Amino acid sequence: MDFDSTKILANARAAATDDLLDRVTVYRAGMEPEAVDIIEMELRRRGVTDEDIAAHGEQHHDCMRDQDGNPLMCSWCRKPAVAEGWGLHRIWGLVPAFPRLFRYCAEHRPVEHLPEPDEDHDP
């Protein structure tokens, strides 16, 4: 695959800052070094410091990884996955079809429902 710095630069300019931060921290190992340089340049243009980048990377040190150490992505967005759980795959988002394992970032992670307090016991 040929490296196209013009496309990488256009993509970086259009991307959200958090997405770029994820790319140069969590997903860095899977990227071309030239692409990392372009993204870091775009982050500097936006006023993001090296300390900001390091802090963002530290926030995601506990993300899920595959057997080879590559970070796993949320099933719903491009953010790093921090949890996984079983759910129903739905055809067209409506019809339940089969169970499957989903991965969740901090934003899409389902809220754990606490059991209702037992009415027979006082708190």
pLDDT digit string, tens, across residues 1-54 = 577 889 999 999 999 999 999 999 999 988 999 999 999 999 999 999 999 999
Predicted local confidence at residue 69, as pLDDT: 87
- Residue 118, pLDDT > 70, answer no
Q: CB within 8 A of 84, min separation 6: which ones? A: 64, 101, 102, 103, 104
Q: In this structure, are 106 and 50 located in the same domain? A: no
CA distance linking residue 74 with residue 104, whole number of Å = 5
Q: In this structure, are 54 and 66 located in the same domain? A: no
Q: In this structure, are 52 and 9 located in the same domain? A: yes
Q: In this structure, are 55 and 67 located in the same domain? A: no
The encoded tokens of residue 65 equal: 């990884």
Predicted local confidence at residue 116, as pLDDT: 53
Q: What is the mean pLDDT of residues 52-67?
A: 90
Q: In this structure, are 87 and 120 located in the same domain? A: yes
Q: Kindly report whether the global pTM for this prediction surpasses the value 0.85.
A: no
Q: In this structure, are 114 and 94 located in the same domain? A: yes
Burial of 47 (0-12, 13-18, 19+ CB in 10 A): exposed
Q: In this structure, are 50 and 90 located in the same domain? A: no
Is residue 5 within 8 Å of 34, Cβ to Cβ? yes
**What's the domain range around 32?**
5-59
Q: What is the mean pLDDT of residues 78-85?
A: 92
If one counts the domains in the chain, the total is: 2
Q: In this structure, are 69 and 111 located in the same domain? A: yes
Q: In this structure, are 122 and 66 located in the same domain? A: yes
Q: Could you give the C-alpha distances from 120 to 3, 113, 116, 123, in angstroms and in order? A: 67, 20, 12, 10
Q: In this structure, are 77 and 99 located in the same domain? A: yes
Looking at every residue in the chain, the average pLDDT score rounds to 88
Q: In this structure, are 66 and 123 located in the same domain? A: yes
What 69-74 contacts at long range (C-beta under 8 Å, 24+ apart), as own/partner pairs, is: 69/29, 70/29, 70/30, 71/26, 71/27, 72/103, 73/103, 74/103, 74/104, 74/105, 74/107, 74/108
Predicted local confidence at residue 123, as pLDDT: 46
Q: What is the mean pLDDT of residues 93-117?
A: 81
